[in-house]
Amino acid sequence: MSRRTLAIVVSTLLAVTLGASPAAAHSPVRALPLPDGFQPEGIAIGDRPYAYFGSRLDGDIYRVSLRTGKGSVLSQGPGTPSLGLKIDDRGRLFVAGGSGGNARVIDTRSGAVLKSYPLQTVPSFINDVVLTGGAAWYTDSTNPVLFKLSLARGNLPAAATRVPLTGQIAYTTGNNANGIAATPDGRALIVVQSNTGKLFRTTYAGVTTEIDLGGQLVPNGDGLWLRGRDLYVVQNRLNLIAKIHLNRDGSAGTVVSRTTDPSFDVPTTIAEYGKRLYLPNARFTTPAEPTTTYNAVSVRVP
């Protein structure tokens, strides 16, 4: 055997034995299959790492390993939707209940429902949630109000607090307040109004002021993701992610890019892991049948 042949054999054996690299061995899966007929909407990603998805069909919570792509139902739904999701550092999943008019908090270890909150008794659409300012904040796309779960000392409250939205936001036909995030300075909230494409800086008392985007809009704005001073806005039916660079208090910003990808099929919400943005494809323009296929896809952070 020649030295060159021996070197090739040794190199091949080392590659098989050691793998390409530790980073490659633990790289997250870039596309995540979801159950047929699942109708995903919300996503949250924990540290382990797992991605959690909510079904707008029946409210099931589906957990997927980002390392293997394998998943299973963590928590059976109540028969009403599970939309926006967020996870806190105690392993609690906060769930927006859509047309069910409620919010739930689920233990990500056991799947048990720790607490359920009836938020509305009138027609409503509890759409998204963010954890900031010592509380969980929920939007209602039908009624001009936020709902606050105070998390003093990390404890879940007995009931939610109603925070009416005042100021410059004006509800109209269609989906209104949808995605919600914190401002870069953490002192207020950002809410996107889907039907107008406007963003609003919202105080914890519910006073709204339109964020100055220099005349730009984000129509069909859905899930929001804040990364430093960059806000990523999913424009669902447009198959876009808008990147907006904000000032510190979130009162103004500049749209610096809009990203699309051939894998997008009406993505809704957004979460980050390993410098990639993950988005469930809700496929709103595809008939929702028990055999309809669904997945979540990822792109590099723009």
Enumerate the domain spans of the chain.
32-300
CA-to-CA dists, residue 191 to 21, 133, 234, 298, angstroms: 42, 15, 13, 23
Confidence label for 1 from pLDDT (cuts 50, 70 and 90): very low
User: Domain 32-300 - what CATH class?
Assistant: mainly beta
Confidence label for 134 from pLDDT (cuts 50, 70 and 90): very high
pLDDT of residue 27: 64
DSSP string, 120-163: -SSS--EEEEEEETTEEEEEESSSSEEEEEE-GGGPPPSSPEEE
Instruction: Identify whether the C-beta of residue 55 lies closer than 8 Å to the C-beta of residue 268.
Output: no
pLDDT of residue 28: 80
91-119 mean pLDDT: 98
290-300 mean pLDDT: 98
pLDDT of residue 227: 98
Which of the residue ranges 24-38, 86-100, 231-245 would you say has the lowest mean pLDDT? 24-38
CA-to-CA dists, residue 295 to 29, 236, 240, 291, angstroms: 12, 15, 17, 13
Q: Which DSSP category does 17 fall into?
A: H
- Residue 243, C-beta contacts closer than 8 angstroms, at least 6 positions apart: 230, 231, 232, 255, 256, 257, 258, 259, 302
Which of helix, strand or coil describes residue 24? helix
pLDDT averaged over every residue in the chain: 92
Percentage above 90 pLDDT, the chain: 89
Name the pTM for this structure. Answer: 0.91
